[in-house]
Amino acid sequence: MKKVLVFFANGTEEIEALTVVDILRRAGAEVTVAGVGGKELVGSHAIRITADIDAEALKALDFDMVVVPGGLPGTTHLDESEIVDHSLTAVSEKGGYLAAICAAPLVLGKRGYLVGKEATCYPGFESYLKGARIPGKRVCVDGNVITGAGMGAALDFSLALVEVLFGAEKAKALRSAVIAD
């Protein structure tokens, strides 16, 4: 089973975080929502969220992917978190995936994970994507890094996460199941 760690902080953009959690769980991933600042949090649009675990209680970091959603001031809280930093390092070092959407690719950029990679973010945050190639796409997948442009790209971003973890067939089937074309 694929294990995914999704961070959430006060001020996180709810759609970016919860779409990821929902789509990955539908795909069969074991998703842990870790709250930076406690288990009881409030998103950027005053929606209350109860995380699965307080991020400070994370012990083993045996995850295949870490997801950092955007929103403000949520991205700032995640950027300042030592456990987020430690988790990104641990998962990256074992060859896992790092994913961020909206303003949150700045967390990856400031730590050097985007150097030489294709990446995207919410308009106005490009200066934080140190060393990245910025093609202007809604979603970029480059090696072990997946980035999304913002809330409007949350479903496509989430399906890209499914594709890298479970393959194109699973992502296509899930897309058909959730989008009534």
Q: At 59, is the pLDDT very low, low, confident or very high (cuts 50, 70, 90)?
A: confident
User: Residue 38 and residue 48: Cα distance in Å, rounded?
Assistant: 12
User: Residue 104 and residue 100: Cα distance in Å, rounded?
Assistant: 5
Neighbours of 46 (CB within 10 A): 7
pLDDT of 181 higher than 80: no
| The pair of three-digit structure tokens given for residue 49, joined into one six-digit string | 């969220």
| 154-172 mean pLDDT | 98
pLDDT of 56 higher than 90: yes
CA 56-164-151 angle, to 5 degrees, is 65
* CB 171 within 8 Å of CB 159: yes
Q: 3-178: which CATH topology? A: Rossmann fold (3.40.50)
Q: At 58, is the pLDDT very low, low, confident or very high (cuts 50, 70, 90)?
A: very high
* CB 79 within 8 Å of CB 107: yes
Q: What is the pTM of this model?
A: 0.97
User: Residue 79 and residue 55: Cα distance in Å, rounded?
Assistant: 13
Determine if the peptide bond prior to 73 is cis (ω within 30°).
yes
Spell out the domain ranges in the chain.
3-178
| 106-128 mean pLDDT | 98
Residues identified as active-site: 102
pLDDT of residue 120: 98
Q: Tell me: the pLDDT tens digits for 73-96?
A: 999 999 999 999 999 999 999 999
Q: At 1, is the pLDDT very low, low, confident or very high (cuts 50, 70, 90)?
A: very high
